[in-house]
C-alpha cells in the first residue's frame, strides 16, 4: 500500500495545509501516519479556522471535524520513533508553529533529508515549514536546499503579520523569516507572488507557498508519488 508520513507542529499547524493533503491522499487510498516532535497531538492554529481565512463556515466545520476526530491527529507518533524508509512521501505542513518546533528538530530534518535522498520517496514541504530547508544539511555540510528551486511563505506576506519587532498578534516573537533563511542557505527562491498558487518541484523535493496552494500541492504530490 502507498503510504505517507506527515510531520505536524505541536505549536500551531495551519489547518488547510495539513488537512487538504491529508484528506486528498487518504481519498486515494494512501495510508497516512502522523508524527509530531514529542508525540503529543498537534495543535491547530485557530487563525486558520477563521471563516475568512478558511473559505467559509462550512469549510471551517469540515477542517475542525478532521482536526478533532482523525485518529492520527489525536494519537501521533513521536518523530524520533519513525523513519522515512518505507514511506512513499514525507509531508511537512506549514503554520507559524513550525518555526518553533518542527523546523528546529534534528529528527525532523533527518526525515526530510532521507526522503529527498531516497530513490523511492518524495517530500512535500509547505509554507512556514519550508524554513526547515535552511537548517537541513547533507553529510558534508552542504545545505540540502543549495541550488534547488523552491517556493514558500514570502517576506511580503510576513511583514503584514508581525510588527516592527517581529512579534506576532499572539505575542510570540518570530525567530526568523522563512524566505530570508532559505535564500541564505543557497536556494533559488521564487514565491510567484503574481500567481494564484505556487508549487515547485525540484527532483524529489516539492514545495508549496501557502494555504491557497495546498490543494495544488496535494495533487502534485500524488502525481510525483
pLDDT at 168: 94
Between 113 and 1, whose confidence is greater?
Answer: 113
Nearest to 150 by CA among 118, 175, 185, 176: 185
pLDDT at 194: 96
Mean of pLDDT values over 46-70: 94
pLDDT at 143: 95
pLDDT at 60: 94
Contact 29, 1 (CB under 8 A): yes
Residue 10 in this model has a pLDDT that exceeds 90: yes
Q: Tell me the chain's radius of gyration from C-alpha atoms.
A: 16
pLDDT in tens, 132-165: 999 999 999 999 999 999 999 999 999 999 999 9
Neighbours of 176 (CB within 10 A): 16
pLDDT in tens, 202-213: 999 999 999 999
With a pLDDT cut of 70, the percent of the chain lying above it is: 100
pLDDT in tens, 95-134: 999 999 999 999 999 999 999 987 789 999 999 999 999 9
User: What's the whole-model pTM score?
Assistant: 0.96
With a pLDDT cut of 90, the percent of the chain lying above it is: 94
CA 169 to chain CA centroid, Å, is: 21
Mean of pLDDT values over 164-178: 96
DSSP string computed for 39-98: SSPP-B-GGGGSHHHHTSHHHHHHHHHHHHH-HHHHSPEEGGG--STT-SEEEE---GGG
pLDDT at 119: 76
Position 1 confidence tier, pLDDT thresholds 50, 70, 90: confident
pLDDT at 118: 72
Domain boundaries of the chain, sorted by first residue: 3-224
- Please give the class, per CATH, of domain 3-224: alpha beta
Mean pLDDT score across all residues of the chain: 96
Amino acid at each position: 500500500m502507498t503510504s505517507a508520513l506527515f510531520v505536524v507542529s505541536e505549536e500551531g499547524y495551519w489547518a488547510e495545509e495539513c488537512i487538504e493533503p491529508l484528506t486528498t491522499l487518504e481519498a486515494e487510498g494512501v495510508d497516512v501516519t502522523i508524527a509530531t516532535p514529542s508525540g503529543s497531538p498537534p495543535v491547530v492554529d485557530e487563525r486558520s479556522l477563521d471563516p475568512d481565512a478558511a473559505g467559509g463556515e462550512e469549510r471551517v466545520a469540515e477542517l475542525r471535524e478532521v482536526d478533532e476526530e482523525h485518529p492520527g491527529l489525536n494519537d501521533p507518533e513521536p518523530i524520533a520513533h519513525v523513519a522515512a524508509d518505507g514511506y512513499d512521501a514525507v509531508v511537512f505542513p506549514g503554520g507559524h508553529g513550525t518555526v518553533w518546533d518542527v523546523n528546529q528538530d534534528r529528527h525532523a530534518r533527518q526525515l526530510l533529508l532521507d526522503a529527498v535522498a531516497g530513490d523511492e520517496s518524495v517530500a512535500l514541504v509547505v509554507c512556514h515549514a519550508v524554513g526547515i530547508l535552511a537548517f537541513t544539511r547533507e553529510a558534508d555540510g552542504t545545505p540540502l536546499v543549495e541550488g534547488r528551486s523552491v517556493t514558500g511563505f514570502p517576506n511580503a506576506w510576513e511583514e503584514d503579520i508581525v510588527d516592527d519587532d517581529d512579534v506576532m498578534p499572539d505575542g510570540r516573537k518570530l525567530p526568523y523569516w522563512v524566505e530570508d533563511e532559505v535564500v541564505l542557505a543557497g536556494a533559488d527562491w521564487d514565491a510567484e507572488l503574481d500567481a494564484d498558487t505556487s508549487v515547485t518541484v525540484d527532483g524529489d523535493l516539492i514545495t508549496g507557498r501557502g494555504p491557497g496552494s495546498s490543494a495544488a500541492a496535494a495533487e502534485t504530490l500524488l502525481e510525483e508519488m
